[in-house]
Amino acid sequence: MSNPELAKRLWAARRDGHVIEIAENDVPANEFISYGTQLAAVAASGMERVGWKVGSTSAEAQKLLGTKSPGAAPLLRPYCYGNGAEIPIHAAHQPAVEGEFVLRFNRDLPVRAEGYLEWEVLEAIDAVAPGVEVVGSRRAGGLFGQGRLLVNADFGANIAFARGEWVTPLKGFDLASTGVELYVNGDQTAEGTGAVALGSPLNVAVWLANHLNHRSLGIKAGEVVATGTCTGVKPVKAGDRVRVDFGPLGDLEVSFIEA
pLDDT in tens, 79-88: 999 999 999 9
Please give the model's pTM, rounded to 2 decimal places.
0.95
Is 102's pLDDT higher than 80? yes
Report d(CA 225, CA 115) in Å as an integer: 18
Report d(CA 79, CA 134) in Å as an integer: 10
Report d(CA 185, CA 194) in Å as an integer: 23
Is 184's pLDDT higher than 80? yes
Q: What is the mean pLDDT of residues 157-186?
A: 95
Reference 231, options 191, 173, 174; nearest CA is: 191
Residue ranges per structural domain of the chain: 4-258
State pLDDT tens for residues 21-76.
999 899 999 999 999 999 999 999 999 999 999 998 878 778 877 777 899 999 99
DSSP-based three-state secondary structure for 165: coil
Report d(CA 129, CA 103) in Å as an integer: 7
Is 126's pLDDT higher than 80? yes
CATH number of the structural domain 4-258? 3.90.850.10
State pLDDT tens for residues 187-214.
999 999 999 999 999 999 999 999 999 9
Q: What value does the mean pLDDT of the chain take?
A: 95
